[in-house]
Structure 1
Amino acid sequence: MLISRGFGLAKNVAVIATRKLPKTVVQTRNSGHSYMYRDVKEAPRKDVWMAEISTGIMWWWVLWHMWHDWGHIVGEFDYPDPSKWTNEELGIPPDDVDL
C-alpha cells in the first residue's frame, strides 16, 4: 500500500517540479509606491550604521546599569540569614507535638 502511494506522490512531485514559478511582480498600489513581491532590497549603509550604533548604546546602557546599579535586579534590601529563622517562622511544629 505504501509503495502505491509513493508512486502517486512521486508523480505529483514531478509535476510540481516542472511548473514554472511566477516572476517577481511589481505592483503599483493606490499610494503610488512600488511593492516588490519576494524581492529583498539591501538596507542603505546609513541605516545599518544607525542600527549598529543604537544597539551598541543600548547594550552599553544595560551593562553599565547592571554593573553600577545591580540592586535593581537583586532587590534593594539585604537577603535574610536563614540560619536565624525560628522553627515557628518556618512552620515546623515543636518536637513534643504528636502527629
Structure 2
Amino acid sequence: MFSSRGLLLCRRLASTSKSIQSRTFMLKPPLNGGGEYVYRSAPKPHAKITIFLAEAVGAYMWWWILWHLWHEPEHITGEFPYPDPSKWTDEELGIPPDEEE
C-alpha cells in the first residue's frame, strides 16, 4: 500500500516539476462539463437524430400553444366579457357635469 502511494506521489511531483520548468500554459477540458472542450476550432455537428428530435419537440410545443390559443382564448383575454364602454355614465367615468361652473 505504501509503495503504491509513494509511486503516485513521485509521479505527481515529477509532473509538477516538469510543468514548472517548462512554463507552458496547459489547456484542460472542464471537469464534469458535459461536453467536449473546443478551443479555436469549430464544434462537431450534432447528430441527425438530435436535430430531428429538437425539431419535433419544437413543432409539438408550437402546436400546443396555437391549439390552446384557438380553442381557449380566455387564457389571454380573460374569463368575463369586457363591458361595453358606450353604456357607461359620465359619473362612472369621472366626468364632471357640463353645467358646473
Same fold, judged at TM 0.5 (above) = yes
Task: Return the alpha-carbon distance in structure 2 between the equivalents of residues 88 and 69 of structure 1.
Answer: 35
Identity of matched residues, %:
50
Aligned residues: 73
Q: Which has the higher contact order (CA 8 A, sep 6+)?
A: 1
Task: Return the alpha-carbon distance in structure 2 between the equivalents of residues 78 and 57 of structure 1.
Answer: 31
Alignment of 1:92 with 2:79, yes or no, is no
- 1:91/1:55 CA distance change after superposition, 3 Å: same
Aligned residue for 2:39? 37
- 1:56/1:30 CA distance change after superposition, 3 Å: closer
Aligned residue for 1:9? none
- What 5-or-longer segments of structure 1 have no aligned partner? 1-26
Task: Return the alpha-carbon distance in structure 1 between the equivalents of residues 82 and 36 of structure 2.
Answer: 60
Structure 1 or 2, whichever has the larger Rg, is 2
Aligned residue for 1:77? 80
Task: Return the alpha-carbon distance in structure 1 between the equivalents of residues 51 and 79 of structure 2.
Answer: 39
Instruction: Let me know the Cα RMSD of the aligned residues.
Output: 2.2
Task: Return the alpha-carbon distance in structure 2 between the equivalents of residues 42 and 78 of structure 1.
Answer: 51
Look up the equivalent residue of 1:65 and give its one-letter code: H
Task: Return the alpha-carbon distance in structure 2 between the equivalents of residues 48 and 69 of structure 1.
Answer: 31
Query: After superposition, where does 1:47-58 map in structure 2 within 5 Å?
Result: 47-58=50-61
Task: Return the alpha-carbon distance in structure 2 between the equivalents of residues 62 and 95 of structure 1.
Answer: 49
- What 5-or-longer segments of structure 2 have no aligned partner? 1-26
Query: After superposition, where does 1:54-65 map in structure 2 within 5 Å?
Result: 54-65=57-68
Q: Which has the higher strand share?
A: 1
